[in-house]
Amino acid sequence: MSILDRFALTDHVAVVTGAGRGIGAATAVALAQAGADVVISARTAAQLDVVAEAVRAAGRRALVVPADLADTDAVAGLAHAAFEEFGRLDTVVNNVGGTIPNAFLDTDVAYLEEAFHFNVSTAHALSRAAVPLMLRPLPDGSGDGDDASRQRSIVAISSMMGRAAGRGYLAYGTAKAALAHWARLAATDLAPQVRVNGIFVGSVMTSALEFVAAMPEMMDQMETKTPLGRVGEAEDIAAGVLYLASRAGQYVTGKLLEIDGGIQQPNLDLGLPDLRPRADEAAPAPAGSPA
């Protein structure tokens, strides 16, 4: 076997969430180019159709499932859709997530819980639905639940903010840290049959950074504060997913790859000021307290 053969996913089936653009889209196409059929899901059908065409151009099948992936029932349903359409399920990429930065006092409990739900609960819902299907024998009768040599893999897309501290990222960073540790714990629960890993993603040029790209000073700050001198490309992350999902990463589980250009701290200052006491403002009243 050539070393390059270890990266092949011939006839595998993968589910990729948040696959309409950015990291999710690049990952879906990369997995297809490695030989996998792909279930892709996001909110916008038109974006998914473009990704599906790229998957088919790579010679693989694509199942498009537009859905609100904040709905845990909808995201769990992707696992069953994959199995019903293709008869197997090998790889889950929990990519959907994200939270807009916010100042501490503007981050109420509901905002924090929403961040956790969108980044962690969705990943758990899909993975929990997927694992029993991943353990089923293949259509040819091989690869049953006791066959640890079959490459079954879950990959969680976390963020470097899940391992570093930066002002304004409390909800997002907390949720991404939880997702990273979820991957470590799930890896322990599911070994040896299913490998679970994650990626600490750095600044990647996706739609989330379009506002930065339009501001040369902010873009220069991000590039200057990144040791490799540039922001990442979606394909940088997709390559890491392929490694973790394929036989190339068959001796890796419970780990988080750091694909972040070498940054150790956030490379973008949001400009949030220090807190200042204001005598004319009362502290927020606890929920349920009398007015």
Residue 57 has pLDDT above 50, yes or no: yes
This model's pTM is above 0.85: yes
- Contact of 161 with 176, CB cutoff 8 Å: yes
pLDDT band at 283 (very low <50, low <70, confident <90, very high): low
State the pLDDT at residue 291: 46
| Percent of the residues in the chain that have a pLDDT greater than 70, as a whole number | 90
pLDDT in tens, 23-46: 999 999 999 999 999 999 999 999
| Percent of the residues in the chain that have a pLDDT greater than 90, as a whole number | 75
> Which range, of 69-73, 219-223, 225-229, 237-241, averages the lowest pLDDT?
219-223
pLDDT in tens, 150-194: 899 999 999 999 999 999 999 999 999 999 999 999 999 999 999
pLDDT in tens, 225-266: 999 999 889 999 999 999 999 999 999 999 999 999 999 988
- Contact of 252 with 244, CB cutoff 8 Å: yes
Q: What are phi and psi of 48, to 5 degrees?
A: -65, -35
Fold for the domain defined by 8-207+235-259: Rossmann fold (3.40.50)
Query: 137-146 long-range contacts, Cβ below 8 Å, gap at least 24?
Result: 138/87, 138/88, 139/87, 139/88, 145/193, 146/193
Which residue in 111, 169, 172, 251 is the catalytic one? 172
Greater confidence (146 vs 225) lies with 225
Examine the residue annotation and report whether 251 is marked as an active-site residue of this protein: no
Residue 70 has pLDDT above 70, yes or no: yes
pLDDT in tens, 119-145: 999 999 999 999 999 999 888 766 655
